[in-house]
Structure formats: structure tokens, C-alpha cells
A and B are shown apart, each in its own frame.
Chain A
């Protein structure tokens, strides 16, 4: 029997890579301009000209799904990056130095994580208003506490290890110890958190845009398009289904990836 973690990792990495490849190609080339309208080809069924048919404006659905997945992925990427960078900084410093700042920040952290992430995203969207960049910012902020907590825990653990003590004895400056010596050692743990972050970001973006509080039309994003596709569920079920499948594939891929990397089920 193959190791489950290994198998999960392989499947997760495989499906994520395939999605990524399609998304990357989509950035440079899609069969049609995803926003180009064509009055003579409205609501076309899937066929040779349009693999997934066209929508009510005659736009090519396949191109839109690819671009929408790209937009969703990009939003996930940026928001995870924000969470990771700030989390590293806050978690690293508090974990390394400890003390009352650590205590206060961790208490704050706890009370922020008391909000379900979707609720927090809604509150932040109320503060920032809707839009692509605001959703990145909102999701990024939501991810900070998770990353900060994990980084802090790991840094605190590494701090007591011999190599850190040795470095201190050799007179290496604290900042250098923290960022040059310790950080590389916590990367493996972080990777699986990053994968879960992606997983959550994709779901959150899709939910918010579905509610109309995220990406605004005509920009595609998976959530926004699912909202649009709902109107054509009986005439063009492939529209909603392909968007839904794209979301499922992204979430599934990142989920398996994070499990394969040894993470827990929940962030």
C-alpha cells in the first residue's frame, strides 16, 4: 500500500499543476477574448467553435472560465502573500522576543480568529467596499493571524534548539538569527499552511463574489461567473457546472497538497 500522504501529495500536486498550466496559458492566450461580445452567437451550445458554448452576450464560456480561474487564483495568491509576509514578520518577532507584546498580540490574534473567516471578510468588505483589490486586502488581513500563530509557535520552538544557541554564542545579531538561521527551518511547516490558505482563499473569493461583494462585472472570477451562470442552469448547465468544477478542482488540489505536506485538516 502506498503511503496515503504521498499519494495525496501526488494527486494534489498533479491537479494543481494542470490547473496552473491552464491558468498560465490563459494569461497569455485564450481561444477568444473573454470579454468580447458577439450578438450573432448568443447562448451557443458547446461545439467545435466554442468548447463550452457561449453566454448571453455571445462571449466564449471556455475562455471566461479559464480567465475566471486565473483571476481567482491571482486573488488567492496575493492575499496569501499578504498574510504570509505580515504573519512572518509579526509571528517571527513575537515568537523570538516573547514578552508582553507577544502576550497582547496573541490575545488579539485569538479574538480575531473568533470570527468565522467569512464573517470577518464581510466586515472588512463593509469597511473597504467591494472590488477586486479590496477583496485581496480583506482576505490577506484574515490570513495574518493564522500565519502569525504558526510562525510564532515554530520560532519559539526553534529558538531553544542548539543551533540558535550556538549562533548566539558566536555573536550573530538577533535579526540575522531570526531571518537567516531560523526562517529556512520553518519553511516546510509553512508550506502546508500556505496550501490551506490557498484552499480557503479560493473558497472565500468564490463566496464573496457570488454574493456580489467581491469582483465586479465584467471582470470574470469563478464566484462572479457562478452567479451569472445560475440564470442559465437549464439552458446551459455546462456553464455553471464547468465553473463549479473549476472551483472544486482548485480546492481539492490545494487540500490534497496541504495534507500531503503534512498539515492538519483545518487551518
Chain B
């Protein structure tokens, strides 16, 4: 008797202790309105620690096109291309000072900026640019490292300030790919990370951290902070705890459930620029049947997923196009499949898969996707579909699901490399190396290639829209949303900037408040 009483007392005491802090307070932290976070006075220098959900890829080679978005957004601070994106969705000159395009859009001429230096102190020369683009486009090996650059026919340097890129076919959008990193001539970026960005790479401890330092000789305005430590925190709960305790100063791409307890921090809301979907392996036996894929589309209510898993934050999408890509978006596709459990059941019956079961692989370090997957499983259950969740570490997801294509379905977000429509759509060509869902549709391939070859802007846009429509009609994936990204920062940190369309974490504008 005494023991049970004691247990009760203990429980009550513990509950009381825990309730003492914030129990039953405001339901969720309200995102603050100031776009760039705290409106305090900028302090020059200082350092911050940023939490990242996944360790960087093994290789930090900026030209590897299969690199993960999380790695690229860090490399954005270390490397630069001839051009770079700005926060308004434009491309601005970076290593190139200026460029010209000929009338047929097949020859691009870039003029190098004076006095741009690499982190190793050397000045960037045309030789470095030619080496970098040749390497990225695979002109010598025949295998482009950056898939978007496969249209390059030649790269030449007529004088020591000019680089001329000739294309195999006209491409009006080509500049969008010129983010391709410039590295020193002859260097191997897998061995040493030397770029021209506002930060230079200092060190890396696997599963733990990556350290960046301000590059003092940066050609432009440069970084405000002296040092940034990126801390790998692969557990969503631990990330929240580290933010609350002050162990880290900032984390981005948090889910709405993660920010719920962070009332004492600055919370910004923007778009994370990823298309979250239930990506289907179109080669998995049941999913080869379009009726099964369509049944899934009818069984899943994306609006309910957004409400339940993201507290309503997020823009519903109907195809693979980031919602801030303006003219390319086809709004009618969002509700192309109206949630209809009966229709889903009927389609499955017709296809002979009344007892459908499959597993959904989800990277465990991404609570937004894990939460969405849980809601999806529940919705599928209502339609008599037995889906199970298989949580894996990010690296496993990347190796086996993405690169190895060994999966049945996965909930994840896909970003775009470039500001061109092709960034979102290229990966669904039958033979594309990034086509991890094994989507294969002759009509799509043809339309896509036609769009690429079209110089007229309106006509090209129409063709890209047609590609998106094919993805929706074919039910290539079950599209959910362009997910919201919550950024949490300590009150004495500011300067975070959201970029439209691209998956970027720009550390150069971040600062400590005095």
C-alpha cells in the first residue's frame, strides 16, 4: 500500500515540477512579422552555432549533381558561380561582372570581375573558370557532373578577362545554371574545399559539426559573422531542446510541431521551397498500374495533411513546381483529384489490388515529413490501404531510396537546383539520373525536350505547364504541399533571409545583435 502511495506522490511531484514551466500556456508560438528577425543593432563579427538536421554528404564536391539539398545549402556559402541568385529571384553577377547572350541564345559571353580571390589567396583567372565549367559539364569525360550543363559544347577563354560558352542547342534559360561553382584550376574539391564564397571551410567532424569562418578577402560585402559552426542534430526533439537551452542559435526548416514550444525565440515563417509529396516508385509492381496511383491520389486529402501535420502552414500543390515559380505554376492541378474514398476503393478493385499494402520510407531526421507520413497512413487506412512507415537515417534514405531506388513509396521534399523550370521537371524524364521514382512516360519526355528547345518564352512556358499536367494526370506522385519553413533564432541573432524557389541558407547576412 505504502509503495503505491509513494509512487503516486512521486508522480504528482514530477508533474507539478514540469507544469511549473509553461504548461498550458499559449497553444503555439506566433511567427513574428519582421522579415529578417530581430530588429536589433548589428554587431560586427561574433559567431553563431546553427543546427542542421542531417550531416553533410561524404563528398563536398560542389559539382556532384546528386548532392543532397542540405549539403548544397551549406556549400552555397563556400562556393560561387559566375552568377548567383538573390533574394528577389533574380540572377546577379558574382564572379562574372557582366555577361552577354547572342541573338540565337547559343553563345554566352562572361566578363570576369577584377580581384575575386579564392580562399587560398589566389586570384580567380579565366583558366580556373574554364577548368571548373569543363569539369562540371564533363567535356573531357563525356559524363556531365552537373546534369544541367550537358548542353555545353565548348568553353573557351579568348582573353584573360573573358569566357565564352557555346551551347549545342539554343537555350534561353541557360544562365539559370551558371550557379555552377568555380574552383581553382586543377584542384580536386573532394579533397579540399576552396571556393570564393563569403565563408571558407575550416573543419568537419563526422556526425558532429562543420566549421566555417569568414573569408576576409571576399570581393563583395562579405560576411558579418566571424565564424559559424553547423552542428549536426539528427533528432527533431533534440533540435528543439538545443534551441530552448541555447545550445544552438538558429535552426531552419522546422516543422510547426517543433516550434510549438519555442515561445522565447524569434520565429520566422517562409517557404522551404520543396515539393512535399508521397513519392511513388513507379516501378513497384502495384504502382505500375496508373489506377492504383490515382486511387492513392483520391484517398489522400492534402488539405487535411497540411492541417494536421503542419497546422495549416503550407501551400497545397498538384504537381512538381515550386509555388513561387510564378508563371510556371498551374493552379488548376492542386485539386485535380478531389478526396474521394469510394472512388479510390473502386479504382483499386478495378486494378485488382483490393488488399494493397506498401511501406513508406521516411528520413527520421525530418519531423515535417514523418508527421505528414503519419497522417497519410491514417488516411489510407480509411480507404482500406495498409501502408506502414519505415523510418531511416538520412544517409540511408539518400543511398538506398534516392540513389539506389530501392523503395515502394517515400514522403520527402524535392527542391530545385536552379531558377529555371527544368530544375523541378528534369528529374522525371525516363532516363534522367535523378528520376528516382522511375517515372517513364514517352509523352512527358517528348514534351519536356520540346520545351527545352523552344526559344519563345510563352510557348516554352506552355510546354512546361503541359509537363506538369502530365505528371498530375499520370498520378506520378501524390502531391501534398510546398512546405512552410519555420526558422527559429535566439533573440540576439538576426539577418536570416528567405530566398524564393531555391533551397538556400545564406549565412553571410546573419549577425549578432549588440
Contact = CB atoms under 8 A, between A and B. Distances in A.
Interface of A: 11, 15, 35-37, 39, 42-43, 45, 56-58, 130-131, 212, 216-219, 227, 230-238, 241, 245, 248-249
B237 interface: yes
6 contacts: A43-B27, A216-B391, A217-B370, A230-B237, A233-B18, A235-B260
B378 interface: yes
A234 B375 contact: no
Contact of B240 (A58, A218, A231): A231
B25 A216 contact: no
Contacts of B308: 37, 39, 42, 57-58
B462 interface: no
Contacts of A236: 23
B11 interface: yes
A204 B277 CA distance: 34
B440 interface: no
Contacts of B21: 234
B219 to A, nearest CB: 44
Given A35-B381, A39-B307, A234 B261 contact: yes
B301 to A, nearest CB: 11
B390 interface: yes
A235 B24 contact: yes
A217 B374 contact: yes
Contact of B22 (A45, A216, A230, A235): A235
Interface string B389-412: 111000000000000000000000
Interface in B354-404: 364, 367, 370-371, 373-375, 377-378, 381, 388-391
Nearest to A228: B237
Contacts of B241: 230
Interface size class of B (residues with CB under 8 A): 35 or more
Taking chain B's interface residues, is the majority helix, strand, or loop, or is none over half, making it mixed? helix
A241 B7 CA distance: 12
A42 B308 CA distance: 8
Contact of A36 (B19, B364, B378, B389): B378
Nearest to A224: B391
B252 to A, nearest CB: 18
A236 B15 CA distance: 10
Contacts of A249: 7
A39 B258 CA distance: 17
B175 to A, nearest CB: 43
B236 interface: yes
B19 A237 contact: yes
Nearest to A245: B11
A249 B11 CA distance: 12
Nearest to A248: B7
A156 B257 CA distance: 58
Contacts of B311: 42
A168 B237 CA distance: 63
Interface string B1-29: 00110010001001100110111110100
Interface string B297-318: 0000000100111010000000
Nearest to B14: A241
Given A35-B378, A37-B375, A218-B377, A234 B18 contact: yes
Given A217-B370, A234-B23, 6 more contacts: A219-B388, A231-B367, A232-B260, A232-B261, A235-B23, A237-B19
